[in-house]
A and B are shown apart, each in its own frame.
Chain A
């Protein structure tokens, strides 16, 4: 991550505003009432915490596409449901014979944020826990649970890539998406060979 160069106080203030707003929201939620006093106290505490901790300002390069996010959320919700039921089933039915596999999944995005989001979401979707992330080459290693055959390996890889695609389209900047499409074409061709 690049270190932040503070150009002007105003710029710095604008950059820290979202964090302070979020901390204030959390404070109000924890108190559980929307009185003016609570909000002011929250804003004060949040700014003090922010100033005391000297949190770095991280330039967030993300876009938010509501429809795509909705699609992503429903896909992940559905996946969480099926994978929970599946894991619960394996708990009850011969848990000692379940075999897994560690699968290499090359990622096509190059954005830190998208990679982080995708890899943590992968733990929630069907049969996978991310074990290792190779940032320089953009490869994640995923442990899939009920995997016996090559076909299941391919399915896991396909699913991880679908998750990545959903994230890229939901949160990526247009630059990210262009890069993603470009990379996707390249890897698809590689797979065909």
Chain B
């Protein structure tokens, strides 16, 4: 009985995880600019992978190799936000964003005033 419940839970996790990963993949193609693509890479992708790992973990449960799954999940959570931050930052700094898709941009105003303050020094003022 317990085994059946665990199996169904595993199936559910795997299916939902696969769906979310699929949505993330489709998002990479369908979203128009890099900043919104970073959202799909950072959120549904992470949750999708986590759910798939949980699904596998339930099936493997008593095995000690579940530890590897925990490590994968941990490093995914630690690295993906940093990666999406760096990609978004580089895109913004090199001007590869679609202005028409951004309704409010408080960073541009800040960078402009920083540049005006550091006039003799060319380039984007500070880090």
Partner of B102, one of A81, A101, A139: A101
A132 touching B103 in the complex, CB below 8 Å, given contacts A88-B23, A96-B30, A124-B77: no
Contact A120 B82 (CB under 8 A): yes
- How big is the B interface, by class? 35 or more
Bound-complex Cα distance A98 to B20 (A): 19
Bound-complex Cα distance A145 to B38 (A): 10
Interface centre among B40, B43, B68, B88 (most CB of A within 10 A): B43
Choose, from A7-15, A25-33, A57-65, A182-190, the stretch at the interface. A25-33
Contact B102 A104 (CB under 8 A): no
Complex contacts, B77 vs chain A, CB 8 Å: 124
Bound-complex Cα distance A152 to B71 (A): 36
Bound-complex Cα distance A102 to B34 (A): 13
Complex contacts, A88 vs chain B, CB 8 Å: 19-20, 23-24, 27, 44
Q: How far is the CB of B127 from chain A (nearest CB, A)?
A: 8
A92 touching B31 in the complex, CB below 8 Å, given contacts A29-B68, A80-B47, A84-B47: no
- How big is the A interface, by class? 35 or more
Contact B39 A153 (CB under 8 A): no
Contact B103 A148 (CB under 8 A): yes
Contact B85 A119 (CB under 8 A): yes
Bound-complex Cα distance A33 to B3 (A): 24
Contact A32 B43 (CB under 8 A): no
Complex contacts, B36 vs chain A, CB 8 Å: 95, 98, 100, 145
Complex contacts, B121 vs chain A, CB 8 Å: none
Measured CB to CB, the residues of A under 8 A from B are: 26, 28-30, 32-34, 80-81, 83-85, 87-88, 90-92, 95-96, 98-104, 119-124, 127, 129-132, 134-136, 139, 141, 143, 145, 147-148, 153
Provide 27 A-B residue pairs closer than 8 Å at the C-beta atoms, listed in order of the A residue.
A33-B64, A87-B40, A88-B19, A91-B26, A91-B27, A95-B27, A95-B31, A95-B32, A100-B35, A101-B102, A101-B103, A102-B105, A102-B106, A102-B108, A119-B85, A122-B81, A123-B84, A124-B80, A127-B39, A129-B39, A129-B88, A132-B89, A134-B126, A141-B106, A141-B110, A143-B88, A145-B39
Measured CB to CB, the residues of B under 8 A from A are: 19-20, 23-24, 26-27, 30-32, 35-36, 38-40, 42-44, 46-48, 63-65, 67-68, 70-71, 77-78, 80-82, 84-85, 88-89, 92, 101-108, 110, 126-127
